[in-house]
Amino acid sequence: MVSDEELNRMRWAARRGMLELDLVLEPFVASCYAGLDESDRESFQRLMGCEDQDLFAWFLRREQPEDAEMSAIVGKVLEFARTPPDRR
């Protein structure tokens, strides 16, 4: 179970300095974060500690994270972002 405090922290963390990241991360947190298992939530929290430039490169698929867990959560965020809103 995800506490309201944790969810609010992740909503705040998903607000980045780049609009492109906000458009990917904020909807993911709102729709998916609470449904992630504990391991994926921890990976997402680590993801929010990464630099915006790295996130931008990963979400544009210009680069991939070296860490397998980080790569997996980036994949989940990308899968969500590619899913049409009416099918989420």
Residue whose C-alpha is closest to residue 36's, from 84, 74, 82, 2: 2
Rounded to the nearest 10 degrees, how much is the dihedral formed by the CA atoms of 10, 15, 18, 19?
Answer: 110
d(CA 42, CA 40): 5
Contact 45, 10 (CB under 8 A): yes
Q: Is the pLDDT of residue 7 over 90?
A: yes
- Provide the pLDDT for residue 73: 98
Domains of the chain (ranges; CATH) run: 4-87 (1.10.150.250)
- Provide the pLDDT for residue 85: 87
pLDDT tens digits, one per residue of 23-79: 999 999 999 999 999 999 999 999 999 999 999 999 999 999 999 999 999 999 999
d(CA 30, CA 39): 18
- Provide the pLDDT for residue 80: 97
DSSP 8-state class, residue 14: T
